[in-house]
Amino acid sequence: KAVVSTQSTGGALCYLFISGGFILGFGFHEDIVCADTKDQSKTNANVSVVRQGDEHAPLCFIQLFLVYYFLLASFLWWVILNLTWFLAAGLKWGHEAIALKAKYFHVVAWVVPAILFTIICSTKAIDGDFQANICFVGSFDNAALQFYVIGPLILFYVVGMTFLGLGMVSMCSVRHELHTTGKKTDKLETLMIRIGMFSVLYSIPATILISCFLYERFQRSKWEVGYVSYCLSERPGACDAEQYSGDFVADPTQLTFNLIKYLMMLVTGLSTGFWVLLSFKTVSNWVKLLKCRSKTSETAV
C-alpha cells in the first residue's frame, strides 16, 4: 500500500501541473503559442504566426515546463512504482529498505526531466501547438519529437513494463508458495489487484499516447505535402496571411487524432487523483485532521 501511495501521490501532483498548462492555454488562447510579426509578402501588415524557438516568450516556457516536464515526471513515477513493486515482491525488500532509497527515486523522477527541459530551452526546440494552445516540443520538428518526446517515453515505458512483468511473476510465485503451505493469501491478492489495476489504468493511456506521437511522426510529412499542394492548387494567394481561412485539413482524421492525444495526456490524472483522494489512508488522514481541528476549537472556546 505504501508503494502505491507514494507513486500515486507523485503522479497526481504531475497531472495537476499538466492540467494547469492546458488551463493556461485556454485562458490566454493563441496569445501564448502565436507571435505577431510583419507580413513581408505584400501588405507589411501584422500577422500571427506559430512560435518556433522563440526565446522572448516567458509564458511559453512556463507552459512547456508544466506540460512537458511533468509529463516525463509522471512516466518516471510509474516506472518507480513498478520498480518498488519488483523490489518488494521479487527481491523480498522490506518497506524500510525501500524507504531508504526514496531520495534516489525523487532525484531520478525530478532531475531527468529537468535535464531534458534544459536541453530543449538551450537548443530552442520549443514550438507552439495552435490546436491546443500549448507550447510543446516537436509540433513542427520531427527530430525534436523523436529525441525529446518519443525516445524518452518509449524508454520509460519499456523499463516500466519490464519491472511490472517481473513484479507480477514474482507475486504470483509468492502466492503459489503460500497456497502450497496452506497460508491465507487474501491480503496478498488484494495488493496484487490494487497494483495491477493502477498499472493498467496508467499503461493503457500511456500506450495510446505513445502511439499517437508515433503516428504524428510518420504522418507529418504527408500533412505538410497536403498543405503545400493545397496552397499551390487553389486560387492565387489562398495561403497568404490575409486570405487564408485556416480551415484546411490535410488528413480528415487529424482532428480526432489530436483530441485523443490531448485526452491521453490528461485522463490518467483522473484515475490517479481519485486513487489518492478516495484511498482509505487519505480519508483517514483527513478525518484525523478534522478531529484535531475540532478539538483545538473546543479548547479555545
- What's the pLDDT tens digit per position in 240-251? 544 444 555 556
**Cα–Cα dist 184/108, whole Å:** 37
Written as one letter, the residue type at 229 is S
Is pLDDT at 279 greater than 50 in this prediction? yes
In this prediction, residues 146-154 reach a mean pLDDT of 95
pLDDT of 288 reads 72
pLDDT of 157 reads 95
In this prediction, residues 197-225 reach a mean pLDDT of 85
Band of pLDDT at residue 148, cut at 50, 70 and 90: very high
Q: Which residue has the cell 483517514?
A: 284
Is pLDDT at 2 greater than 70 in this prediction? no
Give the count of beta carbons closer than 10 Å to the beta carbon of residue 54.
18
pLDDT of 75 reads 93
List, for residues 4-43, the tens digit of each pLDDT value: 555 567 777 888 899 999 998 888 777 777 765 555 555 5
Range ranked top by mean pLDDT from 15-24, 43-52, 134-143, 264-273: 15-24
